[in-house]
Amino acid sequence: MSDTSNGGCCGGSCGCNSNEGLTITTRPEGIMSQNNITLKIDGMTCGHCVASVTEELREVEGVTNVEVFLSAGGTSTANVTTNSQVDNAVLTQAVQEAGYTVVSTDA
């Protein structure tokens, strides 16, 4: 589904429009022990949003894999894999730095 009302998260300036269902995945290499955390995120509307959240979460120490599932206009999901214990508050802050709101976390 395409969001033509606002041209995506950036008003269309990046040319992305909305890409509901878009997923960006980064794959880990040689992980010994893994922890999985699910973040529910509001405010994402397009592929640019997915890329921004993915980038910020990947920068958190201990994060080895990020999969973001866009639900434009709804609550999106980010599945985060870590190789050590990572405080949910640190992940929430990373999402906030990308400009979005974490509404819940499940470890």
49 three-class SS = helix
Give me the CATH code for the 23-106 domain, please.
3.30.70.100
Residue 69's H or E segment, with its range, is strand 63-69
Q: Do the Cβ atoms of 76 and 70 come closer than 8 Å?
A: yes
Where are the chain's structural domains?
Answer: 23-106
pLDDT tens sequence for the chain (107 residues) = 333 334 445 555 555 655 555 555 555 555 456 899 999 999 999 999 999 999 999 999 999 999 999 998 899 999 999 999 999 999 999 999 999 999 998 86
Contact 89, 55 (CB under 8 A): no
Question: What is the predicted pLDDT for the residue at 48?
Answer: 96
61 burial (CB, 10 Å; 0-12 / 13-18 / 19+) is exposed
pTM: 0.71
Look at residue 5 and give its three-state secondary structure: coil
